[in-house]
Homo-oligomer: A and B are copies of this chain.
């Protein structure tokens, strides 16, 4: 059955998951095995959106995939979400500041709503349905506009004392380093993310001070034309300069992972998000950097770094599954 068709979905264990990104809102009906049974994606950009606008987009997305009997609804959003899954303290894309999102959506949709940090939701999906199923200490990184982070420890999303665990992207890796949107300097996500890929590539082009034939052929005729996606595609096509750029970002990825391995000693580190589409071109240098920056190497085992297996739908799948479990626990 292709996505979008309206065959009746009646399984009472279904749940709806919503993923709120900077550029799209996706919603899907998810079954208990983590399969997406129906999917919608709106192109409404929510960058700097007001709360009401974002709510409208979420409500429309949910109604776009589901009009059956009552189901649990899970919403994954970038930002700080309180431990109870009700209030968004702060979000980077939408203008949510201490927003009681779960209650507002419940009032409009008439169903229980669970809100989760998007990277926590993705980590949960990988734990439940992905390549690292049942890992007892899973640390997930989603590399996109920034670094999202999630921990699933002992079969639970570890949200921290205030719901804010997993903000790995704002660990300081270079004192006084690159300016971050958060107001600080030297945050890890300034060195290992989509924008970092773009920045690294631009700096190299500027330093070369001449166009690179293969890049020009791909439409990148000047530093300003570089995008993270463009670099990723060139790298996968075998372009040596693009591979160097991806490797440089992979090295920063591995250095930060070394800090997390020192602090947390996870069982597996899973890397997802758009930047992870570079695959081994990113992970090989990350593993090398992890190995060379890890204290006590030679006398200790450490987590492997592996690719996420669920792709861009992980967030909505995890949000739906967490909502289903929360609804079951409350019933």
Within 8 A of B (CB), among A157-171: 158-168, 170-171
Residues of chain B with a CB closer than 8 A to A168's CB: 262-263
Residues of chain B with a CB closer than 8 A to A294's CB: 170
Residues of chain B with a CB closer than 8 A to A302's CB: 162, 164
Tell me if A165 and B295 are in contact (CB < 8 A). no
A120 CB to closest chain B CB, in angstroms? 12
Q: Which of B80, B259, B300 contacts A90 (CB 8 A)?
A: B300
When C-beta atoms are compared, the residue in chain B nearest to A264 turns out to be B165
Main secondary structure of the interface of A (DSSP, over half): loop
Chain-B contact segment, one of A54-62, A179-187, A271-279? A179-187
Residue A303 interfacial (CB < 8 Å) = yes
Tell me if A299 and B89 are in contact (CB < 8 A). yes
Residue A199 interfacial (CB < 8 Å) = no
Q: Mark A257-300, 1 if CB is under 8 A from B, else 0.
A: 01110111111000000000000000000000000011110011
Residue A69 interfacial (CB < 8 Å) = no
Q: Which of A's residues lie within 8 Å of B, judged by CB?
A: 80, 89-90, 97-98, 136-137, 149, 153-154, 158-168, 170-175, 180, 182-184, 187, 255, 258-260, 262-267, 293-296, 299-303
